[in-house]
Chain A
Amino acid sequence: SQQGEEDPQALSIQEGENATMNCSYKTSINNLQWYRQNSGRGLVHLILIRSNEREKHSGRLRVTLDTSKKSSSLLITASRAADTASYFCATDEDSWGKLQFGAGTQVVVTP
């Protein structure tokens, strides 16, 4: 079963714009992770944010976590065509690595 919902389901933007996607989950968590997947290929780990953290940055990526609302957001700034992919959030309740994935957001960045 899937832990969370992601919105939007799909997002189409132009290069240079920012892309924001949201993830909501249902149970308490130890950490939340964001992944990228290009065209059904392998998963690329983007960021892990722990339950006691509120914000994390990695390059052009910014992730926030609000445990009171059970939600997280991923912001991609100054998007590029290479950012075209599906993005998934995944929650880990106890840090063992047993993940529950959201439905994913499909992002298309046009030149």
Chain B
Amino acid sequence: SAVISQKPSRDICQRGTSLTIQCQVDSQVTMMFWYRQQPGQSLTLIATANQGSEATYESGFVIDKFPISRPNLTFSTLTVSNMSPEDSSIYLCSVNRDQTYFGPGTRLLVL
């Protein structure tokens, strides 16, 4: 199994600002994944974060908007930059062991 924590659990931000979301796993993993869930929608993969290399972004997501850090094998951050109301979503990280485990999510509201 895997225990994943995320900080913050929720935040309300002003447009134009940035927010960094942290994801901590209880043991080492090779890959960590970041997802976005817009209101009333399903989950969409943003990027894959590997330790020691740049993240790999999915179509429609770019590093300037969603910079990711992966400083070690148990931790990653996702920054949502220059936010607009359209960025209001739940952001989740996940890791894979015998199955995929998700963090509790960060609920972001941009005003």
B90 at the interface (CB under 8 A from A): yes
Interface residues on chain B, size class: 20 to 34
Residues of A within 8 A of B42 (CB): 2, 88, 101-104
Residues of A within 8 A of B102 (CB): 42-43, 45
The reply to whether B90 and A100 form a contact with Cβ atoms under 8 Å apart is: no
Query: B residues bordering A, Cβ < 8 Å?
Result: 31, 33, 35, 37, 39, 41-45, 48, 58-60, 90, 92, 94-96, 99-105, 107
Can you report 16 A-B residue pairs in the complex whose CB atoms are below 8 A from each other?
Answer: A1-B58, A2-B42, A40-B39, A41-B105, A42-B105, A92-B100, A98-B33, A98-B45, A98-B48, A99-B45, A100-B45, A101-B42, A101-B43, A101-B44, A102-B42, A103-B42
Query: A residues bordering B, Cβ < 8 Å?
Result: 1-2, 33, 40-43, 45, 48, 88, 90, 92, 95-104
